[in-house]
Every structure is written in structure tokens, then in C-alpha cells.
Structure 1
């Protein structure tokens, strides 16, 4: 089974960019080569502004290329919650901005002539149990309060019965990997210089100039954008945006695949769509979310999704499976705009499962801020906002959870098992000569040993057996089994440890 997303084959069609190998100066430094960073770079380039984009790995190698590639006006947090917490004006801005965000993506695709399978479809949020109808009807009322075009229906084109559904018109699907490949292609030989395999390791601001370290070189910039899902290094927003994992499978089924977007009302909810790949139609099923680092047997999440799919459809085979990390904000809306620490440092985080809409929307807002323009949607997503009533419950729950993880890991028991007893693909925190060591064995039987202490804020990492990564349960940093950084906010690798592996006596 393929463990990359069904879209990742397109990553090989992206232009290749060299790592940063010299000191450089620019008006704007963009950190991150996903949908947010590349859309910002495109908008600045179109405005004649020089920028540098630094991507730690490869273009689209993060969450963008590992999404389910659907675009909806409905939000993870639900409109009834946003309305109650923020009022009618902000909720109306959110609804309108998401619709215009999808329109903007479509316009960009047309203006840049990008082939990425963009298609308008209908979205259905459905209740499959009678006790869910009241919440569905409440969502219908609150969406209607802000003039979002929705309707209640009993008819839905799925091969199983549902109790009632909320119908959203003018939603969309596309191939996000192909989309950002197209943006990158248009940025070749432009006012934006792109560098891959260029990890930022330090940022300092002095007298209005940023000095940024990456690959042992210096980037000097007047303004910096962190298009990194969560701000790097320490930032107060890390206490207000919480890391989660979501899982996706692609399966072939008997009969026709459904042609629209669908999501249920479970917690966490499941989402369904279809796509075509190499001439075959696939059913996409996602969900089974959990907080990063809080589940070690993550492979069971794929089993759960497959079981769900088989209950609903006549599945012939599951051919792809993958997962992605995202960040949920404490109050249900993203933080987009100026960093709380600097008016020349811009952030975009807390997109939840809506990053493919919020990323380009964040690009519109931030590019306007950089150019000194007013953006009418800024108030809805102001990154310096304080929303005590809306945020407090999740703020305390999530951050107390972080403290609990930190304490439990520092003083909890660890395995006394020998490293040579690990199975291929297995990882554990072991007590080796009185020291806690994160030890993992790859598929070829090679053993890797690193410190279990996250280099961000010193929480202990946990093993993720589906992705074979070490994941931090506190702020979402993830590391490969050799200790290298996969996702921030950490920028430094886990410290390598030397161990002696003694072969098991076979006699």
C-alpha cells in the first residue's frame, strides 16, 4: 500500500530549487513553501515586490500535499459557535471571506493557467442519527443569519441513508499539489527567489532589519512572514493553537464513486470525496483526528477509517493511506496578521482542517498588510486579538494537558527492554545505562537512538508508529527517527545518542 497521499506523484513535476548558499538581502522573507507561502510570494511578485522564500524541505512536502484537497465554506468550528462567541459581524466576515477565498483560488488558477483539476461541487454536512438533527438545524439557522446559501434536505447522493443533511452550494475540489507546483513554476526567474532544503534556525530584529540564519548563511529582510503552520521558535500563539493529526485513505469501490463533498457530525467527524488518479476513480475517506503525540498506535487510525469506509461502501481495496498535521485555535478562528512581538513579522496559524481555504486567504490579508493596504477581513482573523470568553476553555484544557504530558514523561517509567528486541518500524523510550533514550528501528533493521527531549520547549517526544516519527505532545514538533526536524516549531534536531546493540543469543 502506498503511504504517500494520492496527490504526491505531482510533487515530481514541481520545479527544483537549490538550497541557499550565499548571504542575501530582500524586502520580504517568506518562511515555508506550502500553499500559504507560495500564494503570498505570487501576490508580492505580481505587485513588483522582491521576496525570498525559504523552504526547509521541498515545495509542498508538508501539509498542503498531504491534505484531502477539498474547499468548503463550512468551517470546522461550526457557525453557531462562531456566532455565539464573536457576534454577527465577525461571523458574516468569516462566511463571506471563505466564499471569496474559494473564488480567489479559482481566479488564480485561471489567470496563471494552472492545470490542477479544479471543479465546483456541492457540499453536504449530514446527520445519520436522529439525535444529531437538532445541531444540524441550529447550524442551518446560524449560517442563514449571515446569508450563507444553505438549505436543509433529505436527499443526498450517497449509497447509504442519512437522517437529514445541510446542503452547501458552490464548494470545490482540486489537486493542491498541482496548484502550488503551478505557482512555483510561475515564480521561476521572477522577483521571488525560492530556496529549498533551507531551514531557518534563528531570527533577530534590530532597528527595523531582520537578520535570519539559514544553512549557515544570512538573509537580511525588512519584513518576515512565517507561513509555517505554527510560528517557529517561541511565540505566544503556540499556547493558543494546538497540534492535531488527521488520517486519510483512498480506496477503490464497487459501483460509482460519489461526486460531491460529504462530512458527518461525529466527533471527530469523517469526510468523504472522490478523485481520479491514473485513470482510476478513488473514494477518499478521512478523519480519526487526535492530538499530536497523544496516540502511539497511530496505525490503528487507518484501520478505523477502513472499517468506516467498508460499513458505508462496497470497498474492493484500500490503495493509499496518509496523514497530516494541522493546528486548531483556541477560539475556533485562525490567527492571521502581525505577530504579537513585531509589526513587521507576520504569522498565519490555527487553520484547523481548513488550511487550503485559509492559506490563500491569509496570503491576501498579509500581502495587503505588507503593502500598507486595508483588508476588510483582517478584523475577523486579527492575530493580536484577545478573546477570553471564546478561548478560555480550550486554552486551559490544552495547556494543562501539555503540563500533564511534560510532568508524566519526565517522571514516568520507561521500558528496560534492549534495543535489539525492537521490531522493524517500532520505537520506544528506553532506559539505557540510567538515561532515557528514544530508540527506533527502521524497516531494514537499522537502529537509531536520539534524545527524547524536544528541542523546542523540552517536552518528551512520543513515537508515531504509522509515520515512524517522534512527535512532541506539547506543541506539535515532529522529528524523523534519526532526529532531524520534520515539522516545527522546533528548528534544531534531537540530539543523537550512541548505543551498543547486542545481538540476541539465538542458541
Structure 2
């Protein structure tokens, strides 16, 4: 079964960009080649501002290309909670800005002539259990308070029992990978220079100039934007945005696939949509979220989604499965704008499962900040805000959880097995000659051994058997089994360990 997203075939259609190999100067350095970074690069280019975009891997190789590719005005954090925590003005701003964000994406697609299967559809948040109706009706009331156009109905086109649903008109679906490919194509030979396989490993600011190290070269910039899901290195926002992972499957079913967007009220919730790939219709089902590094048998989450799909649809086959990482903020809204450490360093994090809308919104806001303009939606997402009442409970819960993981991993027991006992695809923290070593065996039977200590803030990584990665439970850094960085905030690989002699001594 394919473990890439159904959209990833599009990644081969993206222009290929060289790695940075010599020192360079620019007005704005953008770190990250996902939807946030490429949208911002497009806006800056259209304004005549020179930028450099540095992508550690390949364009769209992160969460953007591994999403479910739907765009909604509804948010992961319910509007009733946002209203309670922030009041009517901010809640209305969030709803309005998300609708404007979808409109902006649609207009950008038209202006740049990007073929990415953008289509307007309806969205339904539905209750299929009696105990969920009160919360659904509350969401309907709060949507009314902020003039968000919704309709309470008991009719959907789902072939499954639904008690009541909240209908959101004018939502959208698209192919996010094809979208950012199109943005990248439009930036070829422009005022934006894009570099792939270019990992930033150090940032220093002195007298208004940033000196950034990437691939052993130096980038000098007046402003830097971390379009990286979570700021790299250490940043206080890492204590206010928490890493989660979500799972998706694509299945063929008997009968027609539903045409709109649907999400239930379970915790964590499930969502449903459809798409066409190579002439076949697929049902997309996602959910089963959990905190990064807190589940080792992650492959069970795919089984959970398949079971959920089979209970509701006549599934013929599950042909694709994939997962993606995202960050939930402590108070439920993203942090977009200036870094707490510098007025010329910009961040965008805490998008939760709404990054395809919040990414372009972040680009619009940061583009205005860079040009010294006022953005009408900035107050809702101000990255320097302090929201004690809204965030304190989650702040303590998540960070105490990090401390607990740190202590448990440092002093907990480890396996006394030998690397030879591992099955292909399996990984464990082993005690080898009195030292903890993260050992994994790939599909070809080759053994890889690295330090289990995350290079970000020294938490111990945990094995993810579905993706065959080492994941940090504290701040979400992920590493391949050879120790190389998959996602930050870590920028340095896990230290490699030698185990040949150890294996021979155990024989």
C-alpha cells in the first residue's frame, strides 16, 4: 500500500531547484517551502521585493502535500470556545478572515492560472449521537452571533444516519500540492530565488542584519520569516504550540462517493471528502489524531480509520494511507507575526488542522507587516498576545506532559534485546553495552543506530512504526531512522552510533 498522500504524484511536476552553494544577500529570507512560504514569496514578488526561499527538502514535502486538501470557514477549535475566550470582535474576525482566505486562494489560482482542481462545495458538521446535539446547536447559535452564514439541517447527502447537521456553504476543496507547484512555477526567474535541499542551521541578528547559515553558506537578510510550522531552534512559542499527528486513508467504495465536506463531533473528530485520482473516485477519511511521540503502534491508527470507513461505507479497497504533523496552540488560535525575540523575525505557527487556510492568511498578514502596512485581521492572530485565561490550562497540561516524558524516558527501563532480534520496520530503544541507543531495521533488513536524544532540547525520541521515524514527544521534531531531520524545530541530525562490534559481542 502507498504511504504517500494521494496528492504526492503532483510533487514530480514541481520545478526542481538547486541547493544553495554560495553566499547570498536578500531583503527577506523565507524558511520553508510549504503553502505559507510560497504564498508569501508570491506576494513579495508581486510587490517587487526580493526574497530567498530556503526549503530543507523539496517543495511541498512537508505537511502541505500530506493534508486532506479541504478549505473551511469552520475551525478545529469550536467558535463557541473562541467566543468564550476572546469575545465577539475577535471571533467574528476569525470567521471573516477564514472566508476571505478561501476567496484569496481562489483568486490567486485564477490570477496565476494554476490547475489544482479547486472547487466550491458545502461543508457539514454533523451529530450522529444524541448527546452531541446540544453542542452542535450551541455552535449554530454562536455562528449567528458573528454573522457566519450557517444552516441547521437534518439533511446531508451522506449514505449514513445523521441526526442533525450544521451546513456551511461556500467551502472548497483543491489539490494543495498542485497549488504550491503552480506558485513555484510562477516564481521561476522572478525576484524570488528558491533553493531546495537547503537546511538552515543557525540564525544570528546583529545591528539589524540577519546572518543565516545554510548548507555551510551564509545568507544575509534584513528580515527573516520562519514558515516552518513551528519556529526553529528555541522559541517561547514552542511552549505555546503543541505537536499532533493526524492520519488519512483513501479508499474506493461501492456506489457514489459523497461530493461535499463532512466532519463528525467525535473526539478526536473524523472528516470525510472525495477526490478523483487517475480516473478513479476515492473516499478520503481522516482523523485519529494523537500527540506526536505518544503512540508507537501508529499503524493501528490506520486500522482504526479503515474500520470507521467500513462501518459507514461499502469499502472495496484502501489504496493510500498517510499522516501529517500539525501544531495546536494553547488558546486555539494561530500565532502569526513578529517573533517575541525580534521585530524583524516573523513566525506562523499553531495552525492545528487548518493550515491550508491559515497558511495563506499568515502570508497576507506577514506581507503587510514586512511592508509596514496595517492588516485588518492581525489582532486575531497577534503572535505576541498574552491570553492567560484562554491558554493556561492547556499550557500547564502540555508542558507538564513534556516534563513527565523527559523524566520517564531518561530514567525508564529500556529493552535488553539485541539489534538482530528486530523485525524489518521495527525500532526500539535498546541497552547496548550500558548505553541507550535508538535502533531500527529498515525494510531491507539493514540496521540503523542513532542516539535517542533529540538535538533540539534533549528529550528522548520515540519510534513511529507507521512512518518508520523517530519522533520527539516534547516539541515534535521528527527524524528518519538514519537520524536525519524530517521536521524541526531540531536542525541537527541524531548522532549516529556504531553497533557492529556490539552485535558481534552478543553472538
Q: TM-score, normalised by structure 1?
A: 0.99
Q: What is aligned with 2:210?
A: 210
- Aligned residue for 1:270? 270
Asked whether the 8 Å contact 1:439–1:450 carries over to 2, the reply is yes
What are the residue-to-residue correspondences of 1:67-466 with 2, within 5 Å?
67-466=67-466
Change (3 A) 1:115 1:504: farther
Once superposed, which parts of structure 1, at least 4 consecutive aligned residues long, lie more than 3 Å away? Answer: 501-506
Deviation at 1:451?
0.2
Report the counterpart of residue 42 of structure 1 in structure 2: 42
| SS in structure 2 at match of 1:294 | coil
- Provide structure 1 residue ranges, at least 5 long, that are not aligned to the other structure: none
Structure 2 length normalisation: TM-score? Answer: 0.99
Contact 1:420 1:504 in 2 (8 A): no
C-alpha RMSD of matched pairs (Å): 1.0
SS of residue paired to 1:259? coil
| Distance in 2 between residues matched to 1:128 and 1:402, nearest whole Å | 35
Q: Give the distance between the partners of 1:201 and 1:253, measured in 2 at CA.
A: 46
Residue by residue over 1:243-299, the C-alpha shift from the partner in whole angstroms, topping out at 9 and shown as x without a partner, is 000000000000000000000000000000000000000000000000000000000
Corresponding residue of 2:55 = 55
Count of residue pairs brought into register by the alignment: 506
Aligned to 2:28: 28
SS in 1 for 2:354: helix
Deviation at 1:502, TM superposition (A): 3.8
Equivalent position SS for 1:266: coil
- Tell me the secondary structure at the aligned position of residue 101 of structure 1: helix
Equivalent pair of 1:228/1:348 in contact (CA under 8 Å)? yes
1:249 alignment partner, SS class = strand
Matched, 1:19 2:24: no
Cα deviation per residue 1:299-344 (whole Å; 9 max; x = unaligned)? Answer: 0000000000000000000000000000000000000000000000
Cα distance per residue 1:103-140 (max 9 Å; x no partner): 00000000000000000000000000000000000000
Deviation at 1:503, TM superposition (A): 7.6
CA–CA separation in structure 1 for the residues paired with 2:330 and 2:160: 35
Answer whether contact 2:418 2:506 (CA < 8 A) is retained.
no
SS in 2 for 1:392: helix
Q: Distance in 2 between matches of 1:210 and 1:66?
A: 32
C-alpha separation in 2, matches of 1:372 and 1:314: 55
1:7-48, CA deviations, whole angstroms, 9 ceiling, x for partnerless residues?
Answer: 000000000000000000000000000000000000000000
Distance 1:172 1:230 in 2: 26
Say which SS state the counterpart of residue 82 (structure 2) adopts: helix
1:53 alignment partner, SS class: strand
CA distance in 2, matches of 1:142, 1:241: 25
In structure 2, runs of 5+ residues without a counterpart are: none
The Cα shift of 1:505 comes to 11
Q: Quote how far apart the aligned CAs of 1:146 are.
A: 0.4
Q: In the aligned structure 1, how far is the partner of 2:392 from the partner of 2:169?
A: 34
**Distance in structure 2 (CA, Å) of the matches to 1:505 and 1:80:** 60
1:160 alignment partner, SS class: coil
